[in-house]
Amino acid sequence: MPKAQETVLEIDLNALKHNFTHLKSKLKNHTKVLAVVKAFAYGNDAREIAKYLETLNVDYFAVAYANEGVALREAGVTKSILVLHPIAVNFKTLIAYCLEPNLYSKKILETFIKVASEENQTNYPVHIKFNTGLNRLGFDESNIDFIANTLDKTNVVKVKSLFSHLAASEDLNEREFTLNQINKFKKYSEKLIDLIGYAPIRHMCNTSGILNYPEAHFDMVRTGIGLYGFGNSVKESKNLKPIATLKTIISQIHTIEKGESVGYNRAFKSELLLMTATLPIGHADGINRIYGNGKGFVTINGKKAPIVGNVCMDMIMVNITNIDCQEGDEVIVFGPEYTSAETLAESASTISYELITSISQRVKRVLLK
């Protein structure tokens, strides 16, 4: 890999292919795969990730909001795109770009049918979500008759899939809760299928569900974090390859005398002579303030360099006292060959999801094909 000359996020498409293939190997041949590319493909590059996954014959995509789906369409993505949290004000845009909404409440179902009717739609593909225990979005069992009666009165929409969301599939101590969710989904979906007279695609599993609950794979599974190289457990993460490496460089080196401070609010005061390096990356790039004051660290020439003082908007300072380095040298913030995003996130008591999705779009993306 080329040495960094600025702050970049390298994205390894070979690793992405490995993860997709590994997860797909856990499924039966007929089971479809939906790739979750919301939040800029978990902080990577949604457009490039989605276009590459299309070449691997992924079956479906999912985003959180309509504007994310619009960006994919404008980039040339042609596969079906499920919008997981559609907002009514965006329904006309959603239709214009052939995006498929998750209809999760009475109001959203009725409003979408009204807008789709005004847009002269027939059998527009929609998705119905059931709440089986996550208690975030979704219809309850008591709403099933309402859904069926509403659908029976119109040909404006047609249900493409029925789905739900596991709340704790990565935690095997919550197996009883998860199995209860799965049984609820079977019950709710079968009841609605009987009432509407046809069988939409059913899906419930996220990445951890794929790995831990094969009995819940149904017709399709959804994978987000697994595609990007994280299995939510030490065992499963060993079978996956993180696709991203965040790199930067040393902009300047300083000698800090005993008693001197470093950074805003004088958050760090030196108790002895030391050396610091200033790096062109900060909380505006996704390295949040929680990593400051020695919690977070980077790797320089194979050695750890802890963050000194508060993280600035555009820069961090790190302790290089015992590291042989110079201005212009490459710095690894996280990556599969050094400190993983999981390890760095754990240093600040957070999770890899939060770290990788925080990487700002002002950070240059470099695709490794």
Which residue numbers are catalytic?
A: 38, 264
Any idea which residue has 């490995």 for tokens?
Answer: 18
Helix (H, G, I), strand (E, B) or coil at 333: strand
Q: Is 140 helix (H, G, I), strand (E, B) or coil?
A: coil
Cβ proximity of 23 and 237 under 8 Å: no
**Rounded to an integer, what distance in angstroms lies between the CA atom of residue 50 and that of residue 82?**
13
Given a contact cutoff of 8 angstroms between Cβ atoms, the answer to whether 277 and 325 are in contact is yes
Handedness of CA 92, 94, 99, 105 (dihedral sign): negative
Rounded Cα distance between 48 and 41, Å, is: 9
Question: Is residue 361 a contact partner of residue 3, using CB atoms and an 8 Å limit?
Answer: no
Q: How many residues would you count in the chain?
A: 369
| CA atoms of 298 and 4, how far apart (whole Å) | 14
Closest CA to 50 of 70, 32, 76: 76
